[in-house]
């Protein structure tokens, strides 16, 4: 009798785990093959407008930079600001990372890349190896970037998703 119950218990656990794996796979598939939902796009646009406003208030810059969400970026990149030879400046955000941490992408990565775009306006390319100069850090902080670090700290993402109870 005990063996039958134990077998039933493990059978049910196996079924539940299989259903969870299928759901997880489907959810990832949907995210990869669909555009970002309206709520996420609205949050990006709201932050973008805030950054435009701050760049005008703090630096008297009215320039608008397109923010492009791309699923073609390498996974190791969270975002990038690009400067072309004809002076075009664009900000790219990696769509793949919005699934991990929406807050991190909006409150850390977007101001980070926006700060690069503002530095590009000065055509300050003296040190091509390091785009994270003191000037850039000051701009990033003025744009209310939460962590104006050089690289992504994955602990920030993990801790940001964790809820601590007192």
The pLDDT of residue 162: 37
Distance in angstroms (rounded) separating the CA atoms of residues 22 and 6:
24
**H helix runs in 37-161, sequence order:** 38-59, 102-104, 110-121, 134-142, 154-161
The pLDDT of residue 122: 79
The pLDDT of residue 90: 94
The pLDDT of residue 112: 94
Q: Which range has the worst mean pLDDT, 12-21, 62-71, 81-90, 146-155? A: 146-155
At residue 126 the predicted structure's pLDDT band, cuts being 50, 70 and 90, is low
């Amino acid at each position: 009798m005990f063996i039958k119950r134990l077998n039933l218990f493990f059978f049910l656990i196996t079924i539940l785990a299989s259903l969870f794996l299928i759901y997880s796979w489907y959810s990832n598939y949907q995210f990869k093959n669909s555009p970002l939902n309206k709520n996420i796009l609205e949050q990006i646009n709201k932050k973008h407008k805030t950054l435009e406003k701050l760049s005008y208030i703090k630096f008297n810059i009215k320039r608008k930079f397109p923010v492009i969400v791309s699923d073609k970026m390498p996974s190791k990149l969270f975002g990038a600001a690009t400067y072309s030879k004809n002076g075009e400046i664009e900000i790219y955000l990696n769509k793949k990372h919005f699934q991990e941490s929406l807050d991190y992408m909006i409150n850390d990565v977007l101001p980070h890349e926006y700060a690069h775009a503002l530095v590009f306006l000065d055509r300050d390319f003296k040190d091509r190896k390091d785009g994270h100069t003191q000037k850039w850090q000051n701009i990033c902080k003025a744009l209310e970037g939460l962590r104006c670090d050089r690289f992504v700290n994955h602990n920030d993402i993990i801790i940001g998703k964790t809820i601590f109870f007192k």
